[in-house]
Amino acid sequence: ATRARGVGLATGGRMQSTSPPKAPDAYRFESVGEGLSTRDSAKVAWPHLAPARFTHPLDTQATRALKRLPFAEDLVRRGFGGMVEQAIYLDNMSNSVRVGPKQLPDIYEMLQEAKKILGLESLAVDIFVRQNPAPNAYTMAMQGQKPFIVLHSSLISLLSKEELQAVIAHELGHLKCEHGVWITLSNILTVFASQLPGNLGRTLGETFSASTLRWLRAAELSCDRASLLVAQDPRTVVSVIMKLSGGGAAFGQDLNPEDYVRQARDFEKESERSWMFRRMRDALTSQLSHPLPVERVRELDEWSKSADYRELVAGGTPLSK
């Protein structure tokens, strides 16, 4: 099974340009010049949040297609996927530190609040902290017997508390959407297709593989949106992506999320200058499981200013502690 890795360095449709409805004063947005949209109020939650409210269109489309396959979901949940989940869970139990009310309690509280915001309060999720010099986080992205999230120790050292909660929210987004179930199934179909004889198998295998990678990239965009739903300040999520691209504790306050958004826009302009630049951009991304960091930032910036996001926030309920 392919783990739905959340915060690697790692595009899909843009939101339609419509005039957003005016949000109530309690959920007022501010525009920071030409930069990121922010909000200046207490957080809200969505106890009954459906994944379709925040998933990227390509992610939604691919998931719906696979859900139509008879018995496919049970095959992954009760068979291969379940065994892999148990094996990786046991590995983390033996080689990592499990977070709880008395073990790294700040991280535990971040998880509980993020679950409440995303409507996952009833889902028991373990968090493990694992010693690793590469800042990353991942989950099996399956609401099986033992749902879990793994945070690398270097990630915790790199990020602020707000940023770390945004990472946890990203991984909860994978769990909310159960990307592990559907992407595992897509990988199985790719393997079967590639085993067909002759050029047909090779062609189908390459086509399925490319489609799965496009889906993986769209799934990451969905989970960046889940991060935003929990952080409720796009600067926090942009800062995570920026630090994973080229950050460090020594930089302190010198890293500027809004300038990184401008960099993302400049990249888009440069890559659209000619067909050759567009081909170069596509070549950079075609074999990646995650979108380019600047593309993630641009997509997140656009969604944070969309009518869909504003309607979600306006319809949320005040977060109770």
Catalytic annotation, residues: 171
Q: Answer for the pair 178, 126: CB distance below 8 angstroms, yes or no.
A: no
For tokens 């525009």, the residue is 31
Q: Answer for the pair 58, 13: CB distance below 8 angstroms, yes or no.
A: yes
Q: Answer for the pair 86, 145: CB distance below 8 angstroms, yes or no.
A: yes
Amino acid letter, residue 36:
L
Is the dihedral angle over the CA atoms 230, 136, 209, 281 positive or is it negative?
positive
Token pair for 213: 């990678």
Element (H, E) at 4: strand 4-5
For 318, list phi and psi in degrees, rounded to 5: -55, 135
Strand-pair partners of 45: 317
Amino acid letter, residue 304:
S
Pairing of the two strands 29-31 and 97-98: unpaired
Q: Answer for the pair 221, 227: CB distance below 8 angstroms, yes or no.
A: no
Strand-pair partners of 101: none
Q: Answer for the pair 54, 60: CB distance below 8 angstroms, yes or no.
A: no
Coil/strand/helix, residue 31: strand
Q: Answer for the pair 150, 128: CB distance below 8 angstroms, yes or no.
A: yes
Q: Answer for the pair 45, 117: CB distance below 8 angstroms, yes or no.
A: yes
Q: What is the CA radius of gyration of the chain?
A: 20
